[in-house]
Structure 1
């Protein structure tokens, strides 16, 4: 109990679709509610449209009835940002809510989606993390991209603001300076780089694409793999909640499971070197993110080891997808609830 009320009262901020329906990670919200109730707390979900001067309209889940009910509540003790869409989070109404939370001294995390370009340049200036970054540039202007492609031969093109492997392409310089573009749903050949640029310039510039050297990832049983690492804040540090292996299977462009990748247990490939690398990037990445962008209570990391034994940090996700490993998801709920209590001092 704090200030004569039970709690904590946790607000989970999500999004509203154009038809008025509430969207977001329903299973996560339900499991958090069950765990919080078991410890004397309670949660509700809300969107920016439900925020008023002195109260918030939202929904809370009743485990006994297994349904959601609409409620009006005072401002919560903490807000957990699970808005699933960048454009909704960046909208003026959502930003206004974040400003209100700051004015009322209500803690919230995570502050924002992470832009891949911003992340790269933040880490590039870090004395330790810079050692684990694939060479990366903005995919424009034309001359810079062409020189980068000439240098590496094979590169990836990635939108600065995307997730789940969407919009990723592999660009290859092949014989006679021909260009081959490989995507998940389409492949294209171009007789010259100029022909490629004329076709793709608008896409690359409007979506702020990055160009990244292709890393020859280590393989297991003939297919490349990488690490998915879930991280949570604990006191003034960051700790690993779980590690999964994602392996390319039906295609080799990405290891994302919804796009044809498959799961492997980390224990199958675990080494002391892997452990040391992961511990290092978790500790430093969490501190850089929170120092530069605002407090991150959780995030996930995509990383890999190359076939020559070098380690690379690809990207960080501030709204981690659910892990298919049930034991990692269970620990995630426990870590989040512990963090809620830690921050609110209940």
Structure 2
């Protein structure tokens, strides 16, 4: 086992990347992101290691560090880091962290905990709907727990999205519509269902809607490009006392119009096809306002992504905010992301205080 001791005194900051284990005991998480962060940090005279909760000791942390010269991971025993970057990929594992003594230990040691956790979709909606600027960009949204409330919402808008409050990347999303004969049509990414009446839909889906904490959101008729809907994917980072936009990508639906996410068959388009000064100002504004709102109410968020869209009438909408963005498919955006993250690590690390 490699022991980081004298080496760490010369290489700062020391960044701990917190993740979790899979059911088979292997380390989970975005390995390519961890490797690129390590390479960049080393170029800045810093170093990082990944670890899970069971590696935390009283005065040290057992984990793994990537050695670029060997292109391999080595077991290490490290002192407590200057900053902890939260990349836990599972909500259940994150609940375990929140209920552990580790978070209190970080507070006592004055070690920054970067991004406190996943963002519940309805908590986000409640947070932003009272915001003086951001509220106007939110589609009407309600919990999908009560039959009569959901029925009223559906009859008001005729077409709505059903989303689990704690999912990501389009997982579990459906579109529910009423046709002219009051039939309920439910379309998913890979399956479709038709019900003679809303009552029949509710009888079959009530338990799932409640168990998964589903939300209902008005469908926004999106602006289209080449006949297909598209969304904006925005990634933003804290920078000193404000938030900056690191990159903007476009995701376009292809075989289905439920979601534009790449894993669900979405297409990648360059932002320059759609870029305007007005749109750039909108993106910069919401990135700052969302960043401040999150950090003031939920704890410091140094990184997040935004799913936004434009309606057929040209109105902007905020659909989702993700506290743990996956790697961007655009290599230039991902490279800027790595740069901004490492710059932020240096800004926030306790050795700079």
TM-score, normalization by structure 2: 0.95
| Alignment partners' CA distance in 1, 2:104 and 2:52 | 14
What is the DSSP-based 3-state SS (H/G/I as helix, E as strand, rest coil) of the residue aligned with 1:19? coil
1:1-346 equivalence runs, <5 A? 5-91=10-96, 95-344=100-349, 346=352
The answer as to whether partners of 2:53 and 2:97 remain within 8 angstroms in 1 is no
| Alignment partners' CA distance in 1, 2:273 and 2:343 | 29
| Alignment partners' CA distance in 1, 2:9 and 2:63 | 23
The answer as to whether partners of 1:48 and 1:93 remain within 8 angstroms in 2 is no
The answer as to whether partners of 1:139 and 1:209 remain within 8 angstroms in 2 is yes
The answer as to whether partners of 1:59 and 1:71 remain within 8 angstroms in 2 is yes
Alpha-carbon displacement from aligned partner over 1:39-78 (angstroms, at most 9, x marks no partner): 1110000000100111100000000000000011110000
What is the DSSP-based 3-state SS (H/G/I as helix, E as strand, rest coil) of the residue aligned with 2:128? helix
| Alignment partners' CA distance in 1, 2:10 and 2:68 | 22
The answer as to whether partners of 1:89 and 1:95 remain within 8 angstroms in 2 is no
User: Does 94-103 or 276-285 show the bigger shift?
Assistant: 94-103
The answer as to whether partners of 2:144 and 2:213 remain within 8 angstroms in 1 is yes
| Alignment partners' CA distance in 2, 1:225 and 1:337 | 31
TM-score, normalization by structure 1: 0.97
Structure 1 match to 2:3: none
Cα 1:94/1:268, change in 2 over 3 Å: farther
Tell me, which stretches of 5 or more residues in structure 2 are unaligned? 1-5
| Alignment partners' CA distance in 2, 1:111 and 1:99 | 13
| Alignment partners' CA distance in 2, 1:87 and 1:204 | 19
Q: By how many angstroms is 1:95 displaced?
A: 4.0
The answer as to whether partners of 1:48 and 1:94 remain within 8 angstroms in 2 is no
| Alignment partners' CA distance in 1, 2:79 and 2:120 | 33
Tell me, which stretches of 5 or more residues in structure 1 are unaligned? none
Alpha-carbon displacement from aligned partner over 1:309-335 (angstroms, at most 9, x marks no partner): 101000100000110000000000100
| Alignment partners' CA distance in 2, 1:99 and 1:167 | 34
Cα 1:83/1:94, change in 2 over 3 Å: farther
Aligned residues between the structures: 345
| Alignment partners' CA distance in 2, 1:176 and 1:91 | 48
| Alignment partners' CA distance in 2, 1:217 and 1:96 | 46
| Alignment partners' CA distance in 1, 2:347 and 2:119 | 25
The answer as to whether partners of 1:88 and 1:94 remain within 8 angstroms in 2 is no
RMSD: 1.4
The answer as to whether partners of 2:97 and 2:103 remain within 8 angstroms in 1 is no
| Alignment partners' CA distance in 1, 2:230 and 2:24 | 40
The answer as to whether partners of 1:12 and 1:45 remain within 8 angstroms in 2 is yes
Q: By how many angstroms is 1:92 displaced?
A: 5.2
| Alignment partners' CA distance in 2, 1:237 and 1:149 | 39
